[in-house]
Amino acid sequence: MRWRFCAMVVHPNDFPSDAKKMYVVDMKKIIKITLLALAALTLSTPGQSADGPVKASPAEANFSSSLKAREEAVAAKEKALARREQNLDLMEQDVDGKVAELLALQEVITAKLVEIRTEQDQEFKNLIKVYATMSASKLAPLLNQMADAHVAKILRAMKNELTGKIIPKLEPTKAVRISLLLGRISESSQ
């Protein structure tokens, strides 16, 4: 009695990516079972003794060698997949480490910015105190040489009484521009 095997060949790329490993494992099992069945059949062939050499037809020998080659190819693919997984794990660890470094650096930068802003705010307050002690007639020529936005910021930080004394001492066109700037800020803050 002769046994015939029928195998359906499916390419691994036809499977979804998560099923490729299962394909490789299943193919190894199929190849091993087929080789065992083939060995059992050749041992139980009538007219041959179990102790003597096993004779196989050329077709069976070709089939056996093609199965063995297929098994070796599957094993090579498994090794390549394992190496690729290992490389991906290493890359993921590297990326996670770099993200952690960047987050730590971001915290340091944020702390430095807060420190710088606090220092600048303190320096600005000190400057306002100095300007507040000056007379309006001495402060106006200094403010005339500054940009309008800076003058508006300085006058906004001062008391209203002092601002009211300084604006008339500014150049008339600058006084108008500064008044408009101060008016916009107070309108938007209401």
Separation between Cα atoms, residue 155 and residue 116, nearest integer Å: 23
pLDDT at 22: 54
Task: Say yes or no to pLDDT of 33 above 50.
Answer: yes
Confidence of residue 53 (pLDDT cuts 50, 70, 90): low
**Range ranked top by mean pLDDT from 23-37, 58-72, 94-108:** 94-108
Provide, rounded to the nearest whole percent, the portion of the chain with pLDDT above 90.
54
Helices (H) and strands (E) in the chain, counts: 6, 0
Separation between Cα atoms, residue 186 and residue 180, nearest integer Å: 10
pLDDT in tens, 103-160: 999 999 999 999 999 999 999 999 999 999 999 999 999 999 999 999 999 999 999 8
> What one-character DSSP code corresponds to residue 12?
G
Task: Say yes or no to pLDDT of 189 above 50.
Answer: no
**Quick check: 144 and 174 in contact, CB under 8 A?**
yes
Amino acid identity, residue 29?
K
Q: Which two tokens stand for residue 25?
A: 């494992």
**Quick check: 140 and 169 in contact, CB under 8 A?**
yes
Amino acid identity, residue 124?
F
Confidence of residue 57 (pLDDT cuts 50, 70, 90): confident
How many C-alpha atoms does 25 have within 13 Å on its Cβ side?
Answer: 5
pLDDT at 30: 76
Residue closest to 136 by CA, chosen among 169, 109, 112: 169
User: Average pLDDT for residues 83-93, to the nearest whole number?
Assistant: 94
